[in-house]
Chain A
Amino acid sequence: MKLTALAGALALGVAFANPLHAQDAESAVIGVSIPAATHGWAGGMNFHAQATIAALEERYENLDFVLSTASDPGQQVSDIEDMMATRNIDALVVLPFESEPLTGPVARVKEAGKWVTVVDRGLSQENIEDLYVAGDNPGFGRVAGEFFKERLPDGGNIIVLRGIPTTIDNERVAAFEAAIEGSGIEIVGMEHGNWNRDDAFEVTQDLLSRNSDVVAVWASDDDMAVGAIEAINQAGREGEMWVLGGAGMKEMIQRVMDGDEMVPANVTYPPAMIGTAIELTALNFVGNAPVSGEFIIGSVLITGDNAEQYYYPDSPF
């Protein structure tokens, strides 16, 4: 705390605004690099990143944040290089666009002696990051699969919409298939809806044309659930089947709260995990509590009973 005196003097100016933490002020710059809001979940993640940063800047005078959003892995690498070169960051919170291309650049940040927090998508080499915060993708699939088993004790035909072909999607689907194994539930159609409403709408239309005896749809994402529900309505089969989405979009949580027959439940995969990661990283610079390690946020089944506590009316997602 060599800078205490100086920081104390500086803090006088802002003491009115924030008397609490101003004195233990070794300042730090935290860089946050995330994918741009290209679909609903990422939009929610962007919202929570901005909200968390605004709150933390208010709370801790000595912390500065640099946020950048990238629309492809190449741009994200450039963003991180820029942060290192021009903003002199002390820590990096990164949600990698893709694991492989980001592993090298993030490892170089670590080699330069910076704190590294990796969110959601792991790097392809182990032990680079100080802190790993992630959702539970196999858990996401498993919780969904168990719900299907419970709702369809006698089995039945279902269709499955998959996301963009990625490890995340593979892990979810594998866990889902494992969970429903031997239950008599049969997946009669499975196609990629790419976490996109329009794609999901068209894929569901086609899968419904192909199969006349579907009892449920695992849309595996709330954007896709919106498209699937519309396709079911158009086919006039809304009384016959229900849809399970995922990730906790507020409109879907609303429908669960309202007891909508077609949307009986939801499974969390909270975009707010980026906030958890930023908060924990900030703690490393303002307190003494150890925060390195892994922090896995479980996927929870949302039903009418607990929907209220997962409803964020202000979030865009």
Chain B
Amino acid sequence: MTSETASVAPARSGFRIDFHIWGPVIALIALVALGAFLNPNFLSYGNVTNVLARSAFIGIIAVGMTFVITSGGLDLSVGSMAAFIAGVMILIMNALVPSMGVGWGVILVGMAAALVVGVAAGLVNGLLITQARIEAFIVTLGTMGIFRSLITWLADGGTLSLDFAVREVYRPVYYGGILGVAWPIIVFALVAIVGEIIMRKTPFGRHCAAIGSNEQVARYSAVHVDRVRLMAYVLLGILVGVATIMYVPRLGSASSSTGVLWELEAIAAVIIGGTVLKGGFGRVWGTVVGVLILSLIGNILNLANLVSPYLNGAIQGVIIILAVVLQRQRKAER
């Protein structure tokens, strides 16, 4: 933001790629090329579907996280929140089976419950942050522990399993699809497109960026700062609910190990995608690219046997840092 040693830039003339914009995309293309080179099955329909569908949970959450981070906030509770919502959903659906019978009725109630709990959880985070004026980091660190304990308690330390018959009806929501495209991929794509439009074209998106960039200025510019920030957390809560709706039919269970570290993966995806961690600038399409990069790394390592599996985390870390370094270098030069 500060300027500037203008003498550096002209020295390198000619064609230059703006890494700040294209860095993540280049990284994604490089990963796809590497994967295709290492294993012929990489680009097969089955593998592409697997990777995209498993990206959907983190992806849907990360789109919401983009708004929260753009507005200068942070939410560490989403992984625990997803586990908690999954648990509540399963309990409600199991409880309704005797009275409503097995069918889409029960599942629709379960889905509605997921969204309601998501909104409520987002409201709790948002109100504590905007009304009680506690830092987002602390509030969501607290709710992270609370949701995680609640799911452990609900499951009695074990695993909550969805009624078998209901699960058979619900299963296609993860495994089925239209024209060969699985539902989680479709929902992820819709969420991403709508998110991109909201971020770019609506007052809400611009207000998020304004608040993240400078809260005081935004306030003086008649932006309802608290309301916009609250809405960002509620939006994230809803999207966690949507992600959970797609997650539950996959394995039909929830336990205390559900959604562990999802929050960090979502945050990492947002930052890899070019959103600024301190807020003020966000882009949803970048987040989508970030999510895909993260899940491709794991997929390629599993497909290729390149390094000891003990080192998977290290490779992931290096690529996350590299992706961000590529973007920031250009910025520092400016």
Contact = CB atoms under 8 A, between A and B. Distances in A.
Interface size class of A (residues with CB under 8 A): 35 or more
A223 B254 CA distance: 12
B50 A206 contact: yes
Interface stretch (A37-45, A100-108, A175-183): A37-45
B159 A206 contact: no
Contact of B159 (A43, A46, A207, A234): A43
Interface in A227-263: 227, 230, 234-235, 251
Interface string A134-163: 000000000000000000000000000010
Contacts of A315: 158
Interface in B257-316: 257-258, 260, 298-299, 302-303, 305, 309-310, 312
A198 to B, nearest CB: 7
Contacts of B194: none
A73 interface: no
Contacts of A30: none
Contacts of B130: none
B39 A210 contact: yes
B116 interface: no
A43 B54 contact: no
A209 B157 contact: no
A317 interface: yes
A226 B303 CA distance: 21
A223 B251 CA distance: 11
Contacts of A280: none
Nearest to A231: B50
A113 interface: no
Contacts of B39: 209-210
Interface stretch (A122-130, A189-197, A284-292): A189-197
Given A37-B158, A44-B158, A209 B47 contact: yes
A47 B302 contact: no
A43 B303 contact: no
B213 interface: no
Most B CB contacts (10 A, CB to CB) among A37, A191, A206, A207 go to A206
B44 interface: yes
A80 interface: no
A316 interface: yes
B250 A251 contact: no
B148 to A, nearest CB: 9
Contacts of B125: none
Given A37-B157, A39-B255, A42-B157, A206 B310 contact: no
A162 B308 CA distance: 13
A201 B53 CA distance: 12
B41 A40 contact: no
A316 B152 contact: no
A202 B298 contact: yes
A165 interface: yes
B175 interface: yes
Contacts of A316: 155-159
B184 to A, nearest CB: 12
A190 B47 CA distance: 18
Contact of B256 (A38, A189, A230): A38
Contact of A191 (B41, B44, B309): B309
Contacts of A197: 251, 253, 255, 257
Most A CB contacts (10 A, CB to CB) among B156, B251, B256, B257 go to B257
Contacts of B50: 202, 205-206, 209
A36 interface: yes
B251 A43 contact: no
B46 interface: yes
A119 interface: no
A274 interface: no
A203 interface: yes
A207 B152 CA distance: 31
A300 to B, nearest CB: 22
Interface string B32-46: 000000010110101
Interface in B33-90: 39, 41-42, 44, 46-47, 50, 54
Nearest to A44: B158
B302 A203 contact: yes
Nearest to B46: A209
A227 to B, nearest CB: 7
Contacts of B303: 206, 209-210
A315 B303 CA distance: 37
Interface string A162-173: 100100000000
Contacts of B175: 234
B171 to A, nearest CB: 9
A74 to B, nearest CB: 15
A266 B272 CA distance: 43
B158 A43 contact: yes
Contacts of B309: 162, 190-192
A206 B38 CA distance: 13
Contacts of B54: 202, 205
Given A203-B302, A205-B50, A47 B41 contact: no
Contacts of A203: 302
13 contacts: A36-B152, A36-B256, A43-B255, A46-B157, A47-B156, A196-B260, A197-B255, A198-B258, A209-B47, A210-B39, A210-B303, A230-B251, A234-B175
Given A46-B157, A191-B302, A226-B253, 12 more contacts: A36-B256, A37-B256, A38-B256, A40-B255, A43-B256, A165-B310, A191-B309, A206-B299, A223-B159, A234-B175, A251-B161, A315-B158
What are the 3 closest A-B residue pairs judged by CB atoms, nearest first?
Answer: A316-B158, A37-B157, A206-B302
